[in-house]
Amino acid sequence: MASKGKRKQKGKSAENIGQESVTEVAPEQRHDFSYTQNRELSWLRFNNRVLDEAFDETVPVLERFKFVSIFESNLDEFFMIRIGGLSELARLKHQPVENKTNLTPTEQIDRVLEALLPLSIRYEDAFHKTEKNLDIGGVHRALPDSLGSDDRTFVERYFQSYVSPIISPLIIDPRHPFPNLRNGVLYLVCSLDKEDEHALVGLIEIPTSMNRVISLPSKKDEYRYILLEDVIRACLTMCFGAYVPRDQAVIRVTRNADIDPDGEGVEEEEDYRQHMKRILKKRLRLRPVCLHINGTLDGDMYKIIRKSLKLANRSIISTTTPLDLSYVEILETRLPEARRPTLLFAPFRPQASAMFEADRPIRDQVLEADKLLTYPYESMGTLLDLIHEAAYDDRCISIRVTLYRVAKQSRLCEQLIDAAENGKDVTVLMELRARFDEQNNIEWAGRLDEAGCTVIYGSEGFKCHSKICQITYKDDVAVTRITLLGTGNFNELTAKLYSDFMLMTAHEGIAADANDFFRNLSLGNLTGDYRYLGVAPAGLKPLIMNGLNREIDRARSGMPARVFFKLNSLTDREVIDKIAEASQAGVEVQMIIRGISCLLPGIPGKTDNVHVRSIVGRFLEHARIYSFGVDTDIVYLSSADMMTRNTEHRVEIAFPVLDPICRGLVQEFIRVQLADNVKARQLTSAGEWEKVAHHADETPFNSQEYLLQRAYANAVEADAAQRRRQMEAGARPRVRPVISADSTVPLAVGAALEEEPTEPVGSHFRRPDVNR
């Protein structure tokens, strides 16, 4: 129960920036900095790895253009969150230092800006080369200065008919002061002259309500377009009456978005949804972090804009590329059909899991044995079918679920509404603080509440990032539960784009833990005891430490010892130090880390036995795996990265894979990814990502392409088995992958690692989000 007035959380949330508090013991005495690197610089190197894909000529050119767009989008979010948070800390009189390199916020910002210059040059190079190749491939972007007479006539008519009635040109003067520029919105600025007035500033906001990409008349099998801001540029003389525009540029301000919703205080009688709406409005007005400029500004106009935004010169970034490349996604929908095969990957559709029989209820099959879905290679449709069955099953009495990010058009949420309207007890923990998805979650929370679902929100100071759903059935007097546990969100869109696992189990021990988990969430208890699940903030890090300690003890006893982690990021100092300890004890530590790794491998005497790889490809690698033992006898899947924000300041779940069939599938997945020598990179002791070395006669192996092919092959085999069952009266064998006797890994992978991969069959890649 809230106290009267407002609840305040003292200090800055570790969720936001994770800075260490200053103590009497000097950081250099508390930590060994010889095998760690700065988080922000590690992230920049990851984003540079993303940009590598834009230069890979084996990737179709529009797919390469998407990676250029992903790089820019990542960098925008990085500035809003990381640099925004550091900038606020840099204003403190006594700045804290981070625990990887002992740098203050000011020093970190300096290092980032220094590293950003060569990255920006490489980004512009990637953009221009890719756009040139698109032009050769029949996709052309027209520029204002190069419009032919027919195109200019078309653009001017379009401007007069559709754009001019909407825009509101503004002249900056004492009666019209410089406005508050909205975060991420494009503006066209220019200097204006008239007979008796000179060097005034003109400003036009580029309408966000209009299509950004305007199609131009094109030949058959070609696509020509112009961007909305360039339409306005081409018609700028029509915008300011008697004033003559001179220098002009498109600008976009990036504002700090690192705001702590709980630190802002919640009114006692205020609905939490209303509180979050208020926070979102406040975020729009936070301090500017940087300004991007595309075009030319004279000295006076540049100074006016800079002073209005209170930005230093180093925070102004000029570029030769358009600002906000999100329009690249629109191009895919506009391509002539004849161009698609050469400009895009062949389409891929997630396949039905071969672990299920199509003609039987999902519930019955999960009750027989655990099932494991592997996204995006296998479809989320199986899970959705289970929820749909439950919504209309008289035996189902309740559904409970945690939702962090849901699709705007969420079939899952619609099914939860159906279940509530059918009399089921539906409880939804909706995390309204999922950054940049807050508005969508607020809207769905309202709809679910109106439909009769019980909607609760995450605990103060602790985002609920776990992915768990439990369905409870009552057959006469018997109660059975099916528990769904995932490494990724219950989101139909990302399930087609992110590489994740979803475990479907009727294991009674896991069900009991899940039941306790939901009860504890309802009571605000974050320190519950669980037998099978590792639940942050209290129980997840001890699980990791215990697993590492077991392998350390084995190594010190002269036994083989091994640890494998697959993560998005590794920044938790305690975990880093324990991994270094394991390496020094002789434990082989293999990791696949997509993004940030503050741990440096191969440091003599410190991390010699640590090997770190990364895979960046069509799909976003998002699954988290914790595996212990040379025979991988302990396997956990999880929603949590090894970041302090996840291990100590969020509600996360790590869950064991107990079924030998499912565990074999995870082991196979690990082997396949470690065999990748095409999209994989390895981390050097200097913190750089370099290509995995392989022999000249070694067959190229792309793990994601192999998994795509395997999904198709499994679906074909399952379909054939289904037809055989239909022909054999009463025969319903369980469909399982073939398991080898000695390794518990499906035999198919061993053959695949020796054979040349087949041609690509699919393409999806979602922008990797910095803080997701």
CA distance 111 to 98: 14
Q: How far apart are CA 697 and CA 693, in angstroms?
A: 12
Task: Judge whether 74 is annotated as a binding position.
Answer: yes
* 405 in a labelled binding site: yes
Say if residue 450 is exposed, middle or buried (CB neighbours under 10 Å; 0-12, 13-18, 19+).
exposed
Q: CA-to-CA distance for 719 and 733, rounded, in angstroms?
A: 14
388 is catalytic: no
Distance CA 389, CA 171 (A): 61
Q: CB within 8 A of 613, min separation 6: which ones?
A: 590, 591, 592, 593, 673, 674, 676, 680, 681, 682, 683, 692
Cα 47–53–55 angle (5° rounding)?
115
For CA atoms 439, 442, 446, 452, the dihedral sign is positive
Contacts of 513-519 spanning 24+ positions with Cβ under 8 A:
514/468, 514/470, 514/481, 514/483, 514/485, 515/470, 515/481, 517/466, 517/468, 517/653, 518/400, 518/427, 518/429, 518/470
- The answer to whether 311 and 87 are in contact (CB under 8 A) is no
> What residues have CB less than 8 Å from 720, skipping those under 6 apart?
none
Cis peptide before 376 (omega within 30 of 0): yes
Distances (CA, A) of 561 to 142, 541, 608, 668: 60, 20, 14, 19
- Secondary structure of residue 443 in the 3-state scheme: helix
Measured from the Cβ of residue 163, the count of other Cβ atoms closer than 10 Å reads: 21
Let me know: does 322 contact 292? Beta carbons within 8 Å: no
Name the catalytic one among 292, 465, 507, 611. Answer: 465
Are the C-beta atoms of residues 609 and 586 closer than 8 Å to each other?
yes
Specify the DSSP element, H or E, that contains 244. strand 244-255
SS3 label, residue 145: helix
SS3 504: strand
Residues near 148 by beta carbon (within 8 Å), at least 6 away in sequence: none
Task: Write out the DSSP string of 291-342.
Answer: EEEEE---HHHHHHHHHHHT--GGGEEE-SSPS-GGGHHHHHHH--GGGHHH
Burial class (CB in 10 A: 0-12, 13-18, 19+), 117: exposed
Residues with catalytic function: 465
Q: Which residues are annotated as a binding site for Mg(2+)?
A: 405, 435
Q: Provide the annotated binding site for ATP.
A: 74, 498, 594, 622
Residues in the annotated binding site: 74, 405, 435, 498, 594, 622
